[in-house]
Amino acid sequence: MVATAATSSFFPVTPSPDSSDSKKKRLGNGSINLGGIKSKTSSSGNLQVKANAQAPPKINGTKVVTPPAEVFKNEDGVSFHPPRTFINQLPDWSMLLAAITTVFLAAEKQWMMLDWKPKRPDMLIDPFGIGKIVQDGLVFRQNFSIRSYEIGADQTASIETVMNHLQETALNHVRSAGLLVDGFGSTPEMCKKNLIWVVTRMQVVVDRYPTWGNVVQVDTWVSASGKNCMRRDWLVRDSKTGEVLTRASSIWVMMNKVTRRLSKMPEEVRGEIEPYFMNSEPVVAEDSRKLVKLDDSSAEYVRKGLTPKWSDLDVNQHVNNVKYIGWILESAPLPILETHELSSMTLEYRRECGRDSVLQSLTAVSDNGTDEIECQHLLRLEDGSEVMRGRTQWRPKNAKISGNVGQIPADTA
């Protein structure tokens, strides 16, 4: 269509005498307006035609001035036009070149929009452009740049920032696999049965916190854990050096979002997620020590009156699990926060809390005679119901940690 329009603009079509005669016959008497041609019948009965001047042609929005036709004069001074030859009937080549260039650029743009496929066949890129699946489709990888609003007073990323990166990659992993339908990571079969994922246990080890402007690379994968649970692991590294920054492992179970009760894993759901399981050991060795239940007599520091904000709720209408970490640190003593940094934590989520919940944060400090400090934590509702137990380890700030270049565990299936 574009080529036809371009050609017709340079090679005007001359109407045939037959068509001209037939048009005259159809005009007849009276006043007629056809496409800018005004005609009316004079008093003498002759047909007078007045043609409106046409606007100069445009190419890419620029007016093109057509040079006037060349006129010659004979010896007697009578003007006449040169004879019609092949040479003087050729089009203006600059206009033709401009039209060809326009068509070429439009075709190139369309081709670039269609050429979205990955260049490497061994690497599948998710359609949302937020990460990629590697290692035979079992590991999801995503990079994050540490923003200025994600760092704290120590000019390093906060533990909440690290946890948000873990949560984001987990969701993007499910979405890139084509299993995300509704809610936080719910698969199609889970949606049919009103099931959602909830985390019950989390272990995190931080070797070094990134700073503003650093780019971290987060790898995550899932594995089976018992009959009704799923384990998800994360490995966070410096994208430039490969240095391991954070390792984390978590256990997830299913809950009915209507009854808010835990549920067994249906076989239909297992069939959806089992092809993505990696047969590997946890990236963090399980800490089998029992978490202590604190009360008013054993807790040294208590913070009361903690309430969720609307922005703390996730799409499943309960408080995001990352918010719990901020709450348990609310009762941590300030001298520890000023001189130490969180190096590891073990969390057990026991109950969800909603928008109207009012919570209390309890902390007890254990001094083992070294520079490192261990704290026990409890997050509970005002009526005493446990929401989360936790244990955190703290090391002196600026302590040198021997980092190793981490490797994703190989699938031993």
Which residue among the candidates 318, 321, 340, 375 is catalytic per the annotation?
318
* Assigned token pair, 278: 């990696």
List the alpha helices (DSSP H) in 205-355: 267-273, 321-330, 334-339
End-to-end CA distance of the chain: 57
CA-wise closest residue to 67 among 52, 49, 85, 88: 88
* Relative orientation angle of helices 159-176 and 321-330, to the nearest 10 degrees: 170
* Assigned token pair, 349: 């989520």
* Relative orientation angle of helices 93-114 and 2-10, to the nearest 10 degrees: 170
Residue 242: CB atoms within 10 A of its CB come to 13
Q: Is 229 a catalytic residue?
A: no
Cα–Cα distance between 313 and 274 in angstroms, integer? Answer: 29
Residues 6+ positions from 175 with CB-CB distance below 8 Å: 126, 128
Which residue among the candidates 165, 172, 340, 353 is catalytic per the annotation?
353
Q: Exposed, middle or buried: residue 348 (CB in 10 Å: 0-12, 13-18, 19+)?
A: middle
Cα–Cα distance between 355 and 357 in angstroms, integer? Answer: 6
Please give the torsion angle defined by the CA atoms of residues 5, 9, 10 and 11, in that order, rounded to the nearest 10 degrees.
80
148-163 CB burial, b ≥16 within 10 A, e <16? eebbeeeebbbbebbb
Which residue among the candidates 172, 214, 316, 320 is catalytic per the annotation?
316
- Percentage helix, strand, coil for the chain under 3-state DSSP, each rounded to 5: 25, 35, 45
Q: Is 375 a catalytic residue?
A: no
Q: Is 172 a catalytic residue?
A: no
Q: Exposed, middle or buried: residue 66 (CB in 10 Å: 0-12, 13-18, 19+)?
A: exposed
Cα–Cα distance between 229 and 199 in angstroms, integer? Answer: 10
What amino acid positions are annotated as catalytic residues?
A: 316, 318, 353
